[in-house]
């Protein structure tokens, strides 16, 4: 018998109940912090940075996150040095989302760790699962990209605008499309 609570199930990649009281409270807290962040005047960079440091699981010294920004929990997000996201980035961090150093993300991108069962009966019970996303060093992600559960993007990769990344992308490549596919190596 599985003795894990719903948060432990979520973090371990098992099916979990997203309506669990603890998870709902944690998401509400995070939503409040995102709301607060998105309403800090753009000129108050120190306040913005301090709030992100409270929200994220790990940050380095140099990062910039344009407003608006949204996430589910915050504590599952880790960013490397010299991290940048443009406007309207969403990170559904039900599982760990890790970004390396020198990662640049264009506007309107989403990183979605949450997945839902194909079986309608199970899905309608509110059950879901979460798989981690890992983005290596020196990665550029173009505008309007969706990165789906369980994906790893290798170092020095470039993901073209509008791509839907459904499986791993190796290092040192340009990849584009829906589904995202490697179109050439970057030397």
Please state, in angstroms and as integers, the Cα–Cα distance from residue 60 to each residue in 44, 49, 127, 184, following that order: 19, 11, 34, 31
**Token duo for residue 6:** 């719903």
User: Bridge-partner residues for 129, per DSSP?
Assistant: 115
Beta strand 114-115 pairing with 152-153: unpaired
Alpha-carbon gap, residue 81 to 99, rounded angstroms: 9
Catalytic member of 39, 64, 87, 116: 116
Determine the 3-state secondary structure of 29 from DSSP.
helix
- Cis check for the bond before 175: say yes or no (omega within 30 of 0): no
Q: Which residues, 6+ apart, have CB-to-CB distance to 5 below 8 Å?
A: 20, 22
Phi-psi region of 114 (alpha: psi -120 to 50; beta: other; left: phi over 0): beta
116 given a catalytic annotation: yes
**Residues belonging to the active site:** 116
């Amino acid at each position: 018998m599985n003795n894990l609570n719903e948060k432990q199930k979520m973090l371990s990649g098992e099916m979990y109940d997203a309506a669990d009281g603890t998870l709902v409270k944690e998401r509400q807290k995070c939503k409040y912090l995102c709301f607060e962040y998105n309403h800090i005047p753009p000129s108050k960079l120190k306040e913005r940075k301090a709030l992100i440091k409270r929200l994220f699981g790990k940050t380095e010294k140099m990062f910039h996150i344009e407003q608006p920004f949204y996430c589910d929990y915050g504590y599952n997000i880790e960013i490397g040095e010299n991290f940048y996201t443009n406007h309207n980035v969403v990170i559904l961090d039900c599982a760990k989302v890790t970004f390396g150093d020198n990662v640049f993300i264009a506007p309107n991108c989403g990183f979605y760790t949450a997945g839902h069962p194909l079986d309608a009966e199970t899905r309608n019970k509110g059950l879901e699962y979460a798989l981690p996303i890992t983005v290596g060093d020196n990665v550029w992600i173009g505008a309007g990209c969706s990165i789906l559960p369980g994906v790893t993007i290798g170092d020095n990769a470039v993901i073209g605008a509008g791509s839907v990344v459904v499986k791993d992308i190796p290092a040192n490549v340009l990849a584009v499309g829906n589904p995202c596919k490697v179109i050439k190596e970057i030397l």
